[in-house]
């Protein structure tokens, strides 16, 4: 059972970015299942590894498109991305906290951040980019 199910309301309208968002939600669901099945440590490690590349590749992808199309909210959007990078970094440094606790904290962080970020910040660039570059810009 998934903790987050992809819904149409999450779509930004930019297909390539929506696909990447679905990848992150899929990882959040895997972390949820790992915690449910008492494999917290594996879930934590796998999610942190995924986030290492995701926060670089996906954030760069979004920011590149926003810059290319002169999206006026780019600076604020970058701040929101940095907040997640900082929060994950902070969590990684607290290795003294138990892995079970960190896994639960990461799940909570991602669940709240992702939904708020996609539904608020990402959807704002969606209509803008779609009107200028179309759904299939990459």
How many residues bind Fe ion, per CB under 5 A?
A: 2
* Binding of residue 18 to Fe ion (CB under 5 A): no
- The residue from 11, 18, 40, 122 that contacts Fe ion (CB under 5 A) is 122
Q: Please state, in angstroms and rounded to a whole number, the distance separating the CA atoms of residues 90 and 31.
A: 18
For helices 15-36 and 99-116, the axis angle rounded to 10 degrees is 150
Shortest Å distance, C-beta 116 to Fe ion: 11
- Evaluate the CA torsion angle 108, 114, 115, 116 in order and state its sign: positive
Smaller CB separation from Fe ion, 44 or 110:
110
Smaller CB separation from Fe ion, 18 or 62:
62
Residues forming the site for Fe ion (CB under 5 A): 62, 122
């Amino acid at each position: 059972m998934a903790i987050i199910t992809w819904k149409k309301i999450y779509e930004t309208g930019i297909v390539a970015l929506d696909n990447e968002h679905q990848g992150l939600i899929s990882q959040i669901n895997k972390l949820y299942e790992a915690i449910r099945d008492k494999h917290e440590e594996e879930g934590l490690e796998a999610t942190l590894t995924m986030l290492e590349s995701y926060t670089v590749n996906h954030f760069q992808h979004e920011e590149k498109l926003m810059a290319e199309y002169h999206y006026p909210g780019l600076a604020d959007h970058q701040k929101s991305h940095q907040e997640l990078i900082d929060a994950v970094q902070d969590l990684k440094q607290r290795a003294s906290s138990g892995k079970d606790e960190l896994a639960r904290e990461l799940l909570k962080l991602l669940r709240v951040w992702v939904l708020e970020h996609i539904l608020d910040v990402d959807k704002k660039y969606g209509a803008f980019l779609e009107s200028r570059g179309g759904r299939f810009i990459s």
